[in-house]
Amino acid sequence: LSNMTSFSQNGKATKRGGVAVLVSCLSLEISSDDDSSNNGTIRLITEACALLASLCRYDDFRQPSASGGGGAMGATGVNTSSAHDHAMEFHRAGTLVHLIKIAKIVLSNLETWERNLEKEHLSAAVLTALRVLAVNDEIIQTMVALGLLPVVAKALQLGVADATPTLEGAESPTKNRGTGKNSERQRLTAASLGLLRNLCGNDEIKTNLCLGSSDSKTPSVLPYLLGAMQSYLSTAPIQEHACGTLAAMALRRPANARAILDADGPKWVLCAMRRHERNVNVQRQGALAIRNIVSRLLRDLPEDATEDSGGASDANQDNERGTIRDAFLELGAETVLRNIAGRYQGSVDEAYAALRDLGCSVTMVKFSADNLEKGQTKKNGIGSVGRTMMFGEKHNSNFRPVYEESVGLTEGVDKAVSQFGA
């Protein structure tokens, strides 16, 4: 990390140190002609994109050593990450303009160019570089202003265009697994989904991506996203990014959550969680997607029935709540959340929240290794395991939820007012 920081922020050799060198590489022209004269330039730009991604993504949290290895120390003496600072430095250097220009050229010609691994590698590398730079809303809005949304939608469309859909519960076809063109298309799909996932940090942009936008000429990416989940069911990075994107799209946006539900999104989220039962990242993002979709749709229902409805509105709301929850429960969501996602420390909180919003009876249990080592037990003999109190539950048995006036307190206040208020 110390070497990375020196590379990106050292201004002694050049105006912006190593950043200026990378920007110079990315500014090289790529011809749209299908010939081998581009290959050297394409390889150089691909490596520059990979280096940029490493500088803005990889964090070394080892303690600094005398030889210069390990992490960097912040002003407070705490080991800190500089990935965000690197991304901002590249943004200030104007890197986005070059990256999006490269993406437009490569992706617009990827279908017409004769098969070339160099160009296919570049298409995935430039999307990955854009992904690690999308660290805040300012950068995301700059990307959109430069015309990125149609580009990333096209990339995802190309990634799933030649893929063979996978049947639920079946192994992925050899065509989608291995080598050659489909291997490159998997990389392109994973890179485009990773970028989409970060772009969905902006509420307006994620709505345009989910529902489509005539103003920005961006089609809905939802059919292609679910198509990627179906086609590459055995590819964990694709499933993780897809579930994470669905979770981000549904957050605070009921229209998006409804579109995902109507497009059979719950089926493919649960398929991903079953297929990758040992992948904590897939479990966490899948549980988060379930929680966000269900929670947002339930909250969007009107709370109070009108007086003239005669209870019909309440009945309709109950039916709607049941329909929303059944869309997941009938697919076995409770079993998946309890027995798979709930087993891992990295996804247990999200699994708990999803089960709670699905209306399932669920309790969070905390295991204390310290108590177990000390041999501390309760009357039932399981003192090392205890129920975790959740927000809103009653902790203090002496707490009185109803206010009762105290005669002594009232008299004391009146006496103080008469004594000091005169």
- Summarised one tens digit per residue, pLDDT across range 15-70 is 457 888 999 999 998 876 666 667 889 999 999 999 999 988 756 554 554 444 44
Q: Phi/psi of residue 256, each to 5°? A: -65, -45
Report the alpha-carbon distance of residue 326 to residue 322 in Å, rounded: 6
- Does pTM surpass 0.85? no
Where is average pLDDT lowest: 86-95, 272-281, 366-375?
366-375
**What is the pLDDT, as a whole number, of residue 84?**
87
8-state DSSP, 213 = B
Q: Which residues contact residue 335 at a Cβ distance below 8 angstroms, ignoring those fewer than 6 apart? A: none
In the chain the first and final C-alpha atoms are separated, in Å, by 69
Report the alpha-carbon distance of residue 148 to residue 218 in Å, rounded: 10
Report the alpha-carbon distance of residue 256 to residue 261 in Å, rounded: 9
For the segment 106-150, what is each residue's pLDDT rounded down to a tens digit? 988 776 655 567 888 999 999 999 999 999 999 999 999 999 999
**Of 153, 152, 150, 165, whose CA–CA distance to 227 is shortest?**
165
The first and second tokens of residue 226, run together, are 């679910």
How does residue 184 score in pLDDT terms, banded at 50, 70 and 90?
confident
Where is average pLDDT lowest: 18-27, 330-339, 371-380, 398-407?
371-380
Query: What sections of 280-341 are H helices per DSSP?
Result: 280-299, 312-329, 333-339
**What is the pLDDT, as a whole number, of residue 167?**
55
Q: What is the largest CA-CA distance in the chain?
A: 96
**What is the pLDDT, as a whole number, of residue 61?**
52
Q: Is the pLDDT of residue 198 over 70?
A: yes
Q: How far is CA 62 from CA 31, 73, 129, 254, in A?
A: 43, 10, 25, 42
pLDDT, average across residues 80-103: 90
User: Going by DSSP bridges, is the β-strand pair 365-367/72-73 parallel, antiparallel, or unpaired?
Assistant: unpaired
